[in-house]
Amino acid sequence: MENKKEKKPGFFAKLKQGLEKTRGGLLGFIFGGGDERVNAEFYEELEDALIIADVGYDTTEQILDKLKARIKEEKISERTAAKEVLVDIMTEFMTTDIPFLDDEKDNVILIVGVNGVGKTTSIGKLAAMYKAEGKKPMLAAADTFRAAAAEQLTVWADRAEVPIVKHGEGADPAAVVFDAIVSYKARKNDLLICDTAGRLHNKKNLMNELAKMRRVIDRELPDAHVEVLLVLDATTGQNAIAQAKAFGESCGLTGIILTKLDGTAKGGVCIAVKNELGLPVRFVGVGEGIDDLQPFDARAFAEAML
Residue ranges that bind ligand GDP, judged by CB under 6 A: 113, 115-121, 259-260, 262-263, 285-288, 292
Please, where are the H alpha helices in the chain? 9-18, 20, 28-32, 40-52, 57-73, 79-94, 119-132, 147-160, 173-187, 203-220, 239-250, 269-277, 298-305
What is the nearest approach in angstroms of ligand GDP to the Cβ of residue 125?
8
Let me know: does 256 contact 280? Beta carbons within 8 Å. yes
- Residue 36 is given by DSSP the state -
Name which of 106 and 209 has its Cβ closer to ligand GDP: 209
Task: Tell me the closest approach of the beta carbon of residue 118 to ligand GDP, in angstroms.
Answer: 3
Residue number with the smallest Cβ distance to ligand GDP: 285
Nearest residue (CB) to ligand GDP, 25 versus 116: 116
Q: Report in angstroms how near the CB of residue 290 gets to ligand GDP at its nearest.
A: 11
To ligand GDP, the closest distance from the beta carbon of 189 in angstroms equals 22
Report strand pairing: 191-196 vs 225-233. Answer: unpaired
**Residue nearer to ligand GDP on the CB measure, 27 or 284:** 284
Cβ distance to ligand GDP smaller for residue 137 or 287: 287
Cβ proximity of 3 and 282 under 8 Å:
no
Helix axes 269-277, 79-94, angle to 10 degrees: 50
- What phi and psi, each to the nearest 5 degrees, are found at residue 93? -65, -25
Instruction: Report the nearest approach of ligand GDP to the CB of residue 279 (Å).
Output: 18
Given the complex with ligand GDP, which of 67 and 244 has the nearer CB atom? 244
Question: Residue 281: helix, strand or coil by DSSP?
Answer: strand
